[in-house]
Amino acid sequence: MFDIVIGLEVHTQLNTTTKLFCSCPTSFNDRPNINTCPTCLALPGALPVLNKSVLEKSIMLGTAIGATVNRTSFFDRKSYFYPDSPTSYQITQLYKPVVEHGTLDIDFEDGTSKTIRINRAHIEADAGKNIHDGSVSKVDLNRAGTPLLEIVSEPDMFSAEEAVLYVKKLHSIVRYLDISNANMQEGSFRVDVNVSIRPKGDTKLYTRVEIKNINSFRFIQKAIEVEVQRQTEAWEDGVYDEEIRQETRLFDQVKQETRSMRGKEEAADYRYFPEPDLLKALIPDDMFAKFSDIPELPDEKKARLVSEYGLREYDAAVITADLETAHFFEAMLKEGISGKNAVTWLTVELQARLKGGLSIATSPVDAKTMGTLVKRIEDKTISGKAAKEVLDYLMENASDVDSVIEKLGLKQMNDTGALEKIIDEIIANNEDKAEQYRGGKEKLLGFFVGQTMKASKGTANPQSVNEMLKAKLA
Ligand code: ADP
Ligand code: MG
Ligand code: ZN
C-alpha cells in the first residue's frame, strides 16, 4: 500500500494594466503581436523597468497567506531557448523571492481542516504563445512579459482531493484580493502538479513527476489519479526505478494518461544568474502599509456570514467559495430578508435555473430582484410556490417582481374573512370527511388543505389554511 505526496506550483497572471517590465498593455485576445515593444521583444539596448503594481499585488498575496514579504528581493535569469521567448531567458526570482513561508488552510466536508505550507511566491515574466496551424507554427508575443506570480507549496498534500481543495482555495483568495482574473480557460491561472508515491508509513520523499499546465479543477483530480496509478503499477511490477524518473509530463485528457515531455537526459540547464539589467525590488514602508491592508478573505467572510446571519457552516462555505456568489448574496440581503431564505433562493432556485452557460455573474435576474422576490414571500404577498412562477417568468422576461405578481395574478389571499368563508363552505360540503377526521383520521387534513388551495386558486397562504382548518375541524 502506498501514500501519495503532492506539491503544487500555481502560476497566476497578475491583472496589471501593463506588462512586468514595459508599458505594453496586458489585454487578452488582441490582434497577434500588437502589444509588443523593444523591451518585451528583447531588441538590443532595450532595458526592463519593474512595474510597481506587481510588488503591490505581491504584498497582498503574501499578507493573505500569512507569509514573510521581503522588503528587498532580486531577479534572476533562467536561460532556455524556445520560440515563444524572444529573450531566450526568463526573468524570475530564484534566490530571493518577494514572498516566503506562508500557509493556507483547506477545509474538508466533514468540518475538519488542514494547513498546507507555502514555500514561496515569486514574480516572473510569462512567455508568448506558439500557435500550431497545420504545417506552420506561428508565434504571438502579446503575452510575452506579462507578470506572473508563481506560488509554490511544500509537498504537504496527500490526496487528489486535498490538492483540488488547495487550488480552489488559492483561486478564491486571488479573486477576493482582485490581483488576478484567474480565468483557468484563458490560462491566467495554471497549475503544475508534482506527484510521488511512497510505501505507507515511510517519511522520505521519492521521485517526483511534474505534470505541467493543468487548467481545470477536474483535470487536476484526473491527472493525479492516472499518474498515481502509473507509479503504483511500476512499483508493483518491480520496474519503479527504471520507469519513474524525475521528469516533466503532460496530461492528455482524451487518452486519460500522462506522457513524457522531456526526460532527465534532456533536462534543461537553466544557468541561473542574477539579472544584471534590473535593480533590487524594494518595498518602501508606505507601500507595504497600504497594500498589506487587504480586503475580507473567504474564511473571514464565511465566519461573518455564520455569526451575522446564522447561516450553516456548509451554506456559508458555498456562498463564499467564489466572489460573484458572495457579492450576489450580500446584495440580496440589502433588501432586508433573512439569510437562510436568501441562501435557498440563491443556491437552489436561481442556481437550478442558470443553464446554457449562464452563471451568477451573467444571471438575467439580478441580486436586487432576487432580494425583492424573497421579501415578497416573507411579507406574505406571495407563496413560495408562486415565487417560483415569478422567477420562471423573470428568467425569460425583463421585468420587476411586483409587476409580475400583478400580471400573473399571484397575490396571496391575506384576507382572513375571505379564507374563513371558503373553509366553512368546504367543511359544510364534506361533513362526512370532517366527521372521520374528528374520529381520528387525521390524514384527511391534507384533503381539506388541497380543496382550500384549489378554491383559492393557490393564492391562500398554506400556513394560515392549515391553522384555520385545524381550528375549525377540532
Ligand atoms: P522546480 O522549479 O524544479 O519544479 P520547485 O521547487 O519550483 O522546483 O517546485 C517543486 C515542487 O515539487 C514543490 O511544489 C514541491 O513541494 C514539490 N515536491 C518536491 N518533492 C516532491 C515529491 N517527492 N513529491 C511530490 N512533490 C514534491
Ligand atoms: Mg516546477
Ligand atoms: Zn513591451
170 CA to middle of ligand 2, Å?
Answer: 18
- Reported as a single tens digit per residue, the pLDDT across 188-213 is 999 999 999 999 999 999 999 999 98
Q: Could you give the angle at the alpha carbon of 358 between the alpha carbons of 356 and 364, nearest 5°?
A: 120
- Asked if 151 and 61 touch (Cβ cutoff 8 Å), the reply is yes
Tell me, what's the pLDDT at 267? 61
Residue 147's H or E segment, with its range, is strand 147-153
Kindly give the distance from the C-alpha atom of residue 9 to the centroid of ligand 2, in angstroms, as a whole number. 6
Closest CA to ligand 1's atom 5 = 152
Cell 524518473 found at:
245
What is the Å distance from ligand 2's center to 249 Cα?
11
Q: How far is CA 116 from CA 11, 165, 172, 268, 314, in A?
A: 17, 11, 16, 29, 21
Ligand 1 pocket member 208 (CB < 6 A): yes
SS3 at position 195: strand
β-sheet bridge partners, residue 360: none
Residue 315, pLDDT > 80, answer yes
What sign for the dihedral angle of Cα 80, 81, 82, 86?
positive
User: What mean pLDDT comes out for the span 281-295?
Assistant: 97
- Name residue 25's beta-bridge partners: 18
Q: Let me know how long the chain is.
A: 474
Name the burial class of residue 114, with classes exposed (0-12), middle (13-18) and buried (19+) by CB atoms within 10 angstroms of its CB: middle
pLDDT score of 71: 98
The CATH 1.10.10.410 portion of the chain extends over: 416-473
The radius of gyration of the chain's CA atoms, rounded to the nearest angstrom, is 30
One-letter amino acid identity for 449? V
- Pocket test of ligand 1: the residue of 6, 11, 190, 194 to mutate, having most ligand atoms within 8 Å of its CB, is 194
Atom from ligand 1 closest to the CA of residue 156: 16
pLDDT in tens, 170-181: 999 999 999 999
Q: pLDDT at residue 97 above 80?
A: yes
Average pLDDT in the chain: 93
Question: Which residue in the block uniquely carries the three cell numbers 420587476?
Answer: 400
The set of cell numbers assigned to 336 is 432586508
* Ligand 1 atom at shortest distance from the alpha carbon of 210: 4
| 5 pocket-lining for ligand 1 (C-beta < 6 Å) | yes
Tens digit of each residue's pLDDT (9 = 90 or more) over 144-169: 999 999 999 999 999 999 999 999 99
Pocket probe for ligand 1: among 152, 209, 228, 264, the residue whose CB has the most ligand atoms within 8 Å is 152
Cβ of 7 less than 6 Å from ligand 1: yes
Alpha-carbon distance of 340 to 324, in angstroms, equals: 18
Question: Facing residues of 12 across strands?
Answer: 149, 189
Measured from the Cα of 205, ligand 1's closest atom is 23
- AA letter at 470: K
129-133 and 209-214 strand pairing: unpaired
Question: For 333-383, what is each residue's pLDDT tens digit?
Answer: 999 999 999 999 999 999 999 998 899 999 999 999 999 999 999 998 988
Q: Which fold has domain 416-473?
A: Arc Repressor Mutant, subunit A (1.10.10)
Comparing 119-123, 284-288, 456-460, which segment has the lowest mean pLDDT? 456-460
Residue nearest to atom 17 of ligand 1 (CA): 7
Q: Is the CB of 9 under 6 A from ligand 1?
A: yes
Ligand that lies nearest to the alpha carbon of residue 195, given by its number in the listed order: 1
Query: How confident is the model at residue 456, as a pLDDT?
Result: 83
Q: Which ligand is nearest to the CA of 25?
A: 3
CA–CA dist 446, 455 (Å, integer): 14
How much is the average pLDDT of 92-120?
94
For residue 274, the SS3 value is strand
| Long-range contacts, stretch 231-234, CB < 8 angstroms, 24+ apart | 231/2, 231/195, 231/196, 231/197, 232/2, 232/197
- Which residues have a beta carbon within 5 Å of ligand 3, which is an ion? 22, 24, 37, 39-40
Tell me, using a 6 A CB cutoff, whether residue 333 lines ligand 1: no
| Confidence tier at 410 by pLDDT (50, 70, 90) | confident
DSSP 216: S
pLDDT (tens digit, 9 = 90+) per residue, 207-255?
A: 999 999 898 999 999 999 999 999 999 999 999 999 999 989 999 988 9
Between the CA of 153 and the centroid of ligand 1 the distance, in Å, is: 8
- Which residues are registered as beta bridge partners of 115? 105
Q: Is 130:139 a contact under the CB 8 Å cutoff? A: yes
Angle formed at CA 365 by CA 364 and CA 367, multiple of 5 degrees: 130
Please identify every residue whose CB atom is under 5 Å from ligand 2, which is an ion.
9
Question: Using CB atoms within 10 A of its CB, is residue 19 exposed (0-12), middle (13-18) or buried (19+)?
Answer: buried
Q: In this structure, which residue's CA is closest to atom 13 in ligand 1?
A: 7
> 207 C-alpha to center of ligand 2: Å?
14
d(CA 400, CA 369): 7
CB environment 209-232: b (16+ within 10 A), e (fewer)? bbbbebbebebbbbbbebbbebbb
- Please state, as a whole number, how many other Cβ atoms lie within 10 Å of the Cβ of residue 168: 16
